[in-house]
Structure 1
């Protein structure tokens, strides 16, 4: 736990307060949700490997489509809403500008990806999805890690429609599938996430 959290202010925190806090040195993630700090443990090796493989697959698809204007980056600070005092750290993002700086505005995201570990509470999932939607992030992917790590994860891809996410693709099988809720259609096999 960082020094800043050993003697926390009562809050609520602003996005600027959150950005000024030191990054936890133990790999945990400090996020800001409705003005309150949320510290989550460092992601597991399985979680990180899955996020890394997704980063590579998305980047390969963007390059193959000639989209050099888009940049894939893992685990960066995203300022969701100053008014809502919310800032998150998605597992993977596709940026519409070069990844320069320590944080990015939500309107600079073309896609956010959240990898849900088996223990992620439903309320956390819903709050993050609502935050991305309110910030008008055009595409969101959620990847559910199964309890049995030998099983295949489930990828659900959403497209923003009228301020809410509409489920467009659900991939649960080992075969090839094309995800259209993305800056470019991306063909992948979930088994590739474990390679």
Structure 2
């Protein structure tokens, strides 16, 4: 058994022992934490903050309004890359056919875009681990949103086996994006208070 003690919470005893598999995760308790796997090692993060949720919701609406027929944005889906690599992107864009047919876990081939919204507990993962993992899985586009930067949007495009340097779109300037489909918005709208 493994024990997880996120700051300020009670001890959670997890069944199994490292290295973990996706099948092990299915037996974990629903304790409010997000459990992901990197080569069988647990990546644990707490439930998202209200700001984090606001950014995901606003971006999902923007993507949904701009998406052509046949594509659909979805929040917090299960992404099974291998038996020992499992992630929960904050937001993805998938083909609508996959969204209708996948019951529990998407495969990398289903995703056109994966998005992560930064938080103090996930910064290292979102800036270094996730770009490497998503590129290695063959996901064509990765976006990273940093709330503390205004927010700022970092967009990555797959080039061979990895993502090139990201394009950076700062709050106060309209980002004109072409992939996975045309979309233009100022990143500041993602975190602005409700109108």
Common fold by TM > 0.5? yes
Q: Partners in 2 of 1:191 and 1:55 — Cα distance?
A: 15
Deviation string for 1:20-59 (max 9, x for gaps)?
Answer: 2246242x21111110222211111111111111111111
The aligned counterpart of 1:157 is 155
The aligned counterpart of 1:192 is 189
1:6-155 pair list within 5 angstroms: 6-18=13-25, 20-22=26-28, 24-26=30-32, 28-62=33-67, 67-82=68-83, 85-96=84-95, 97-99=98-100, 100-122=102-124, 125-146=127-148, 152-155=150-153
The 3 A distance-change label for structure 1 pair 23 and 124 is farther
Deviation string for 1:150-194 (max 9, x for gaps)?
Answer: x611101011001110235310131322023x2112111112213
Secondary structure of the residue aligned to 1:141 is: strand
Task: Could you tell me which runs of 5 or more consecutive residues in structure 1 were left unpaired when the two chains were aligned.
Answer: none
Secondary structure of the residue aligned to 2:66 is: helix
TM-score, normalised relative to structure 2: 0.83
Q: Partners in 2 of 1:54 and 1:128 — Cα distance?
A: 19
Tell me the CA shift for residue 79 of structure 1: 0.8
Q: Partners in 1 of 2:69 and 2:58 — Cα distance?
A: 19
Per mean C-alpha deviation after superposition, the further-off stretch among 156-165 and 37-46 is 37-46
TM-score, normalised relative to structure 1: 0.83
The 3 A distance-change label for structure 1 pair 123 and 55 is closer
Task: Could you tell me which runs of 5 or more consecutive residues in structure 2 were left unpaired when the two chains were aligned.
Answer: 5-11
Q: Partners in 2 of 1:168 and 1:123 — Cα distance?
A: 16
Deviation string for 1:116-160 (max 9, x for gaps)?
Answer: 1144342563112111011000000000120xxxx6111010110
What number of residue pairs does the alignment pair up?
A: 180
